Each structure stands twice: as C-alpha cells, then as structure tokens.
Amino acid sequence: MQSKNRTLKIGILEIQGAFLEHKISLLAAAKELSDDVTVDVIGVRNVSHITSDMVGLIIPGGESTAISLFLRRNDMEEPLKNWVKDKDHVTWGTCAGMILLSKVTENQKKGGQYSLEALDVVVARNHFGRQVNSFEGDLNITDPELLSIQTGNEPFRGVFIRAPAISRTTNPSVKILACASTEDKPEAVIVGCRQGNVLATAFHPELTEDFRWHLYFLRMIQQR
Ligand code: GLN
C-alpha cells in the first residue's frame, strides 16, 4: 500500500552564498504545508547529488563567475542543465542564481557566465551598482498568488546585494512577479519572475524573516 506521507526532496547548491539561510527559510515555510508533506533538504556539491528524484533546487547568490567556474571544473554544467529542463523539476535562482538561469547576460565578466538557459530574459549584472550600492527596499509585487500568502510579514521587502535586474523578457510566457526601483535607478525594473517551473529573484529572501518566497517555491513544486 502506498504511504500517505509525501517527501519532497529539495536540493540547495552549496558552492557559495547563503545556502544555510535558504535551508532555514525553506524548513520554516514547509511548516505551512499540510502534515502529510515532509521536506528533505540536501546539499548539492557534486554531480552525484543531481538526481532525478530531487524535485526542487535552489541556486543561491554569490558570484556567478565563480559558481560557473566551479560547475565547469566539476562537470556539473550539462547534468544541471538537463535536470532543470525536466518538467518534473522546479528551480529557483536568487541573485547570482538568477544570472545563471537567464539565457542572455548583459555586463558579463570576461570569460563569461555559464547559462542554464532556462529563462527567456535578458539579465543585467550589477544593475543597481557596486557592493556599496547594496540596499534593502520595498518590492512592488505584481502577482496575486504571492500577494495572497498571509504569514504576517508586511510589506514585501527585498535585500539587494550587488544585485542584477531583468532588462527585458523575450518570451510572453515569462510572468513578472516583482519590480523595484531606487533613487539612483528610478525606472522600475523586473526583480522577480517565473517561467513555467523556473523562479528567479534578484534579491535575497533568505536573508529576511519573510519566508513567503520559499512558500511560493514549495507550492510551485506541489503544483507541478
Ligand atoms: N553581482 C553578482 C554576480 O554577478 C551577484 C551578487 C549576488 O549574488 N549577491 O554574480
């Protein structure tokens, strides 16, 4: 007889960035799911960790050039790309993770960033400026599903660390979830989007107490 309990195996790429914070937020969000669902978080550090029974993957921030190099040196590029392509898998990239998911990168470093070619967008690295221009600001959420998540955290804030932004989308199936602007960059740009099973945010929800984005990601996994 099939067990009623369902385990969602979710990986977090543990190369750079706030992978521990992502794990904490993911487990906090998982408490909002029904009792029969268990979330099992695993660290993805080499090719043997990229398995087909893993249903979700978070690619944290960091330095997209360094992450690219690590993936290349460890023969993880192609297996990861194929894993992400699978319709049964849900991927979320934050900051550098968003850069890696995007098909086209502006302001690329020499040698270039590797692309998982999962999002039909043009992403601009360091859109908001350098490290000193890192900031925390309100997000303009344009997605009703996100807005309907009630966890007592109001409003939606975004922590931006040398963050990218999406300059444009190149396919109508890319759904815009969040926009932001600053005094220096007053024109609102896309900082959160989704295309099918792929989610991308330019900011770092894992560095706040707000786990609504993690819950949204878990729901994407459940709805796939
Ligand atoms: N600017 C970094 C890059 O290009 C991303 C910064 C971040 O992930 N916090 O990779």
Question: Which of the four pLDDT bands, split at 50, 70 and 90, describes residue 152?
Answer: confident
Ligand 1 centre distance from Cα of residue 6 (Å): 35
Q: Is 177 a pocket residue for ligand 1 (Cβ < 6 Å)?
A: no
What is the reported pLDDT for 50?
98
Question: Measuring from atom 5 of ligand 1, which residue has the nearest CA?
Answer: 96
Active site residues: 95, 204, 206
Kindly give the number of the ligand 1 atom that is closest to the alpha carbon of 17: 8
114 or 49: which leads in pLDDT: 49
Is residue 2 very low, low, confident or very high in pLDDT (cuts 50, 70, 90)? very low
| Distant-in-sequence, close-in-space partners of 66: CB < 8 Å, separation ≥ 6 | 15, 16
Percent of the chain with pLDDT over 90: 86
Asked if the 6-223 domain carries CATH number 3.40.50.880, the reply is yes
Residue with the nearest Cα to atom 8 of ligand 1?
Answer: 61
Q: Is the pTM of this model over 0.85?
A: yes
Is the CB of residue 66 less than 8 Å from the CB of residue 185? no
Q: Can you tell me the mean pLDDT for 35-44?
A: 96
* Contact yes or no for 114/68 (Cβ under 8 A): yes
Is residue 4 very low, low, confident or very high in pLDDT (cuts 50, 70, 90)?
A: low
Q: Looking at residues 34-50, what average pLDDT do you find? A: 96
Kindly tell me if the per-residue pLDDT of 150 is higher than 90.
Answer: no
Find tokens 């706030």 and name the residue: 18
Pocket test for ligand 1, best of 21, 64, 131, 207 (most atoms within 8 A of CB): 64
Nearest-atom number in ligand 1 for the CA of 204 is 9
Sorted by where each begins, the domain ranges of the chain are 6-223
Q: 60: Cβ below 6 Å to ligand 1?
A: no
- 11 Cβ closer than 6 Å to some ligand 1 atom: no
Using the mean position of ligand 1's atoms as its centre, give its distance from the Cα of residue 7 in Å: 32
